[in-house]
Homo-oligomer: A and B are copies of this chain.
């Protein structure tokens, strides 16, 4: 009986779906609590709010922490279901060291630790802000986005090196031409870097701008380089996303080819494809177009046996 209870808890917490109403409500509640908790921490830093509503915010925080602790304990307990082939404690350990579990832990640990060891109140508050990372669990597209960023890390890092080179170039140039007119803002290369970075990223605060004619000519060149600079990550991410999408589509294509080998798309096939579709985060209309593409594919060529002249379709 305990085991059935645990299986249900596992399903409720780890595989919420709109069809399973209770799991969906729990998911919504947890998302809401994360947002309330982060807003509460932010509001606590406003002196006027702290003075008036301080005790109330603290009670809110206490209750949310308690709920998150229960959530963590339940997930840890139910994690035994995740790897049925392992002993329960090993499965739980494996879950406990996963990134999402560590984020869950960091979201509650400081609160309880503060009872044991004295922790700086300010640090405690900031650690509670880390709860916002718990949101990452609830967006499947986020996983894809992170995968793209990780895959393109090398190219993004190369863009960063280009930025570093341009930054040194811009800051030293601006220092050369502006340091006498504006010793405060361009008096040294490190201080000129503030202007250089703000310009190269096209943020353009305008708190520091070149004043001399030659400074503006040089500044104009840097704004141009800034537009090119800002174009690099956009181009890299566009390419990475397109590539990622292409690969996910290919995986779905393969799945379709396999389930279509017997010539029919029965209910079991449909469920298998639907499961993969959700996992890959591909839209239903895209799946239809993939399905049509696979169907359209040339049937296997006819083969003529050179010995007996029998004509047949060779297996793939």
Cβ of A275 under 8 Å from chain B: no
Contact of A165 among B132, B206, B251 (CB under 8 A): B132
Contact B145 A155 (CB under 8 A): yes
Contact A168 B224 (CB under 8 A): no
Contact B164 A132 (CB under 8 A): yes
- Kindly provide the distance from the CB of A78 to the nearest chain B CB, expressed in whole angstroms: 25
One of A19-27, A64-72, A88-96, A306-314 at the interface: A306-314
Near B by CB (< 8 A), chain A positions 166-205 give 168-169, 171-172, 175-176, 187-191, 193-194, 197-199, 201-205
Cβ of A289 under 8 Å from chain B: yes
Given the known interface contacts A144-B158, A145-B162, A189-B42, the answer about A235 and B237 at a Cβ–Cβ threshold of 8 Å is yes
Considering the complex, give the chain B residue whose CB is closest to the CB of A244.
B239
Contact B155 A141 (CB under 8 A): yes
Cβ of A74 under 8 Å from chain B: no
State which size class the interface on A falls in: 35 or more
Copies in the complex: 4
Contact B289 A316 (CB under 8 A): no
Cβ of A109 under 8 Å from chain B: no
Cβ of A223 under 8 Å from chain B: yes
A311 to B226, CA, bound (A): 63
A220 to B193, CA, bound (A): 9
A38 to B189, CA, bound (A): 11
Cβ of A62 under 8 Å from chain B: no
Contact of A42 among B190, B197, B206 (CB under 8 A): B190
